[in-house]
Amino acid sequence: MIMRKFTSQLLGFLLILIAIGCNKIAPNNAEGSVDISFEDFMASFAQIADIKGINQENGLDFRESPEIEMVYFQSFLQDKSYANHLTEKLNFLEKTIDNQDITYRFVSQIFLDSRFHSLIISANSEGDPTHEWAYYLLNYTKDGNYIDGILLSYRNSYESDETTEKVSQSEYRYVSFLPKNQLHFTDISYDNTLQSRVNNSDDIPFSLTASSDNDTQYFRESWYQIEEKGAFKQIKTVERNKNQIRP
């Protein structure tokens, strides 16, 4: 009798342990509750030993990097703020303001300072024919806490060839990495139109005209300092002559 009672109690105890174990495993297997770490996130980035800048020569080189899974985006990117080319603070979102999907990709990790991690990601607007590339530099603490981000380089272009005119519009930011953790940006936006001349006596078939000279067109250079704790600080901006803009 005693042995039977002991066996029954032992069986009940084992069933309780199994139930507890199942309860611990279930949340990890449930959809949207996968355990991840910042180390896992970091491991998905390729390492680049030395990068001088991102411009028209290498801007397309990183577009096919692996896509950032939603669980990583939600944990380490979503609603984090960054400075754009107008020094505005914006947030990383799943969609654009026009409700277009954005595909975020792992690009690389670079070494800027031993006190924080520096990662480069890309963000591609799906269905936008003018979009060529957009890259962002993000700094995190060693524990994986977000510090700051900045739009590193981008290019949007539109070109139309017709019988009577050619329209060329573009806006872009090119970046150069300077010594002492400084960044040099060149920001340009232009809208140039080549229109045919109707005057048959004129031997020159086309003339270059600017569609307008307003705030939507600009040509500027700016310099940023990456501070000791990983934040980005603007230190100088120079407005250039818009008439010097070239495609």
How does DSSP assign the chain, residue by residue? -HHHHHHHHHHHHHHHHHHHHHHHHHHHHSTT-----HHHHHHTSPB-S---EESTTTTTTTTTSPBPPHHHHHHHTTT-EEE-TTS-EEE--SB-TT--BEEEEEEEEE-S-TTEEEEEEEEEETT-TTEEEEEEEEEEETTS-EEEEEEEEEEEEEEEE-SSEEEEEEEEEEEEEEGGGEEEEEEEEEEEEEEE---TT-S--EEEEES--STT-EEEEEEEEE-TTS-EEEEEEEEPPGGG---
Please indicate, yes or no, if residue 19 is contained in any of the structural domains: no
Please indicate, yes or no, if residue 74 is contained in any of the structural domains: yes
Least-confidence region, from 7-11, 194-198, 221-225 = 194-198
With beta carbons less than 8 A apart as the criterion, state whether 126 and 135 touch.
no
Look at residue 6 in the predicted model and tell me its pLDDT.
43
191 pLDDT tier (thresholds 50, 70, 90): confident
Least-confidence region, from 95-104, 178-187, 195-204 = 195-204
Please indicate, yes or no, if residue 15 is contained in any of the structural domains: no
Q: Which residues contact 53 (CB under 8 A, 6 or more apart)?
A: 153, 174, 175, 176, 177
Query: What's the pTM?
Result: 0.77
Question: In the structure encoding, which two tokens stand for residue 240, read together?
Answer: 């250039």
Please indicate, yes or no, if residue 18 is contained in any of the structural domains: no
Question: In the structure encoding, which two tokens stand for residue 210, read together?
Answer: 């600017």
The pLDDT of residue 40 is above 80: yes
The pLDDT of residue 16 is above 70: no
Beta-carbon-side half-sphere exposure of residue 174 (alpha carbons within 13 Å) = 15
- CA geometry: angle 199, 200, 202, nearest 5 deg: 75
Residues above pLDDT 90, as percent of the chain: 54
Question: In the structure encoding, which two tokens stand for residue 36, read together?
Answer: 């991840």
Question: In the structure encoding, which two tokens stand for residue 108, read together?
Answer: 């690389």
CA distance 110 to 92: 21
The pLDDT of residue 178 is above 60: yes
For residue 55, what are the domain limits? 37-244
Please indicate, yes or no, if residue 27 is contained in any of the structural domains: no
Please indicate, yes or no, if residue 16 is contained in any of the structural domains: no
Look at residue 76 in the predicted model and tell me its pLDDT.
97
Question: What average pLDDT is seen over the chain?
Answer: 79
100 pLDDT tier (thresholds 50, 70, 90): confident
Longest alpha-carbon distance in the chain: 120
Number of compact structural domains in the chain: 1
Looking at per-residue pLDDT, the higher value among 188 and 8 belongs to 188
Please indicate, yes or no, if residue 98 is contained in any of the structural domains: yes
Look at residue 64 in the predicted model and tell me its pLDDT.
84
Please compute the mean of the pLDDT values over residues 190-201 and round it to a whole number: 52
Please compute the mean of the pLDDT values over residues 30-58 and round it to a whole number: 83
Please compute the mean of the pLDDT values over residues 8-12 and round it to a whole number: 48
Please indicate, yes or no, if residue 12 is contained in any of the structural domains: no
Burial degree of 129 (CB within 10 A; 0-12, 13-18, 19+): exposed
Residues above pLDDT 70, as percent of the chain: 72
Per-residue pLDDT tens digits for 45-93: 999 878 899 999 999 998 889 999 999 999 999 999 999 999 999 999 9
Looking at per-residue pLDDT, the higher value among 102 and 128 belongs to 102
